[in-house]
Amino acid sequence: MPHTSPPQPVAITGMGVIGAFGRGVPALDRALAEGREGVAPLTLWESSIRDFPVGQYPDRLENALHEVPGLSVRAHRRLSRSDALALVAAAEAVKQSGLTNLATAGAYIGQSVCGTLTSEELYIEARRRGQAGESTRLDLSGAFVHEGANTLDRLADVFQLQGPTLSFMTACSSAANAIGLAADAIRAGRCNVMLAGGADSLSRIAFNGFCSLKVVSPDGPRPFDRDRQGMMVGEGAGLLVLESLEHANARGANVLALLTGYGHSCDAHHLTAPHPEGKGAIAAMREALTMAGLQPGDIGYINAHGTATLDNDRTEARAINAVFGEDSVPVSSTKRFVGHTLAAAGGVEAVVSIRALQQKKLPPNLGLRVPLDDAKLDLVVATRDTPSLRHVLSNSFGFGGNNAALLFAEAN
């Protein structure tokens, strides 16, 4: 919907992230600065197609959970891998925000895999027992973590949240929509503080499914490359603490950045393919600009969805050209750093975008050899200093034509 005047921006006071680069914002900073890619072999389970790399969290997730305060032994036993990723990122974000009482806060989380990995393991064990002639009676308590609501339940339990909680499943735009709609809830006065972002783990169904679609690259993603071969499935979480500006200023919070614009659209074109002219992507980006009261020329960087699939990169590049013109704004995708973290992508890349604003440095588009010839983009090939950077756009586009765009501005 068009906006007659820009609404009040929402403050971001905390960030947490985990993924193929490691745990925490400092680990992400190091990976981006060093150009260290997250392309790695699959080790979570045995697979006949493990030659395809993934963006897997490289350390024991169990160790990272020790940093989550208030996690009871009982709750610890009832966590999916997605739940654990969300809790680790949330703990970092809450700690940075300085908030000690979240009783009135809520959480909006983007998800798609949820507890599928745990459910797969239960099924595999039951099948093994059946084939071996053993009893197939299993402890099915692990199945309780299958649904997405389990992540919200664990967040509410650990951080004592009593505000609104919702899980969003709009494919790969889920986390971005969770962040944008959490900001809307704050502007509407439903709450003053929200945890928002996304979390997704690797799973057999997701990995095998994308491989069967023949959209996974054998050597990792090369976003916006002419000879790109496909994506890389990843896992991770990215969460933000959002506050009304009034609430943040009243408690003297350190405001990291402002969320000023949000656009959401649907192509209504195809289940898996974007509209060839990028109509939905164009609509989402323009709506975010309108909400923020900005012109295309105000944007200093676009963190692209850039999955490195043939259709996505071609369509997104054309959509960026339609909104911003050719070669008019620096663009990069950070998918080779983290993989495509599915529903978590918008959360992880929101953190990347905010760090670009804070550090005045644009992350490189790793893996680029020859730029695509479908559209002309100012692709960031090496870390670029941008002292005048004030506004950053982050794109997240998903199956079903679900498109989201978030606009971040430097804190005043």
Structural domain includes residue 130: yes
User: Tens of pLDDT along 289-322?
Assistant: 999 999 999 999 999 999 999 999 999 999 999 9
Using CA atoms, how far apart are residues 410 and 403, in angstroms rounded to an integer?
Answer: 24
Residues known to be catalytic: 172, 305, 340
Structural domain includes residue 193: yes
Tell me what pLDDT residue 1 has: 46
Quote the domain boundaries for residue 275: 10-410
Instruction: Say if CB 261 and CB 8 are below 8 A apart.
Output: no
Tell me what pLDDT residue 269 has: 66
Structural domain includes residue 157: yes
Using CA atoms, how far apart are residues 223 and 313, in angstroms rounded to an integer?
Answer: 7
Q: What is the mean pLDDT of residues 382-390?
A: 97
Tell me what pLDDT residue 87 has: 97
Structural domain includes residue 3: no
Residue 270 has pLDDT above 80, yes or no: no
Report the SS3 class of residue 49: coil
Mean of all residue pLDDT scores within the chain: 93
Using CA atoms, how far apart are residues 326 and 328, in angstroms rounded to an integer?
Answer: 5
Report the SS3 class of residue 402: strand
Instruction: Say if CB 319 and CB 375 are below 8 A apart.
Output: no
Residue 5 has pLDDT above 80, yes or no: no
Structural domain includes residue 5: no
Residue 110 has pLDDT above 80, yes or no: yes
Helix 25-34 vs helix 345-359: crossing angle, to nearest 10:
70
Q: Of 270, 282, 334, 281, which Cα lies nearest the Cα of 304?
A: 334
User: Tens of pLDDT along 62-89?
Assistant: 999 988 998 887 778 789 999 999 999 9
- Tell me the CATH number at 64: 3.40.47.10
In the chain, what percentage of residues exceed pLDDT 70?
A: 98
Structural domain includes residue 2: no
Using CA atoms, how far apart are residues 337 and 142, in angstroms rounded to an integer?
Answer: 31
Tracing tokens 């009783």 back to the chain, one arrives at 103
User: Tens of pLDDT along 362-372?
Assistant: 999 999 999 99
Give the chain's domain count.
Answer: 1
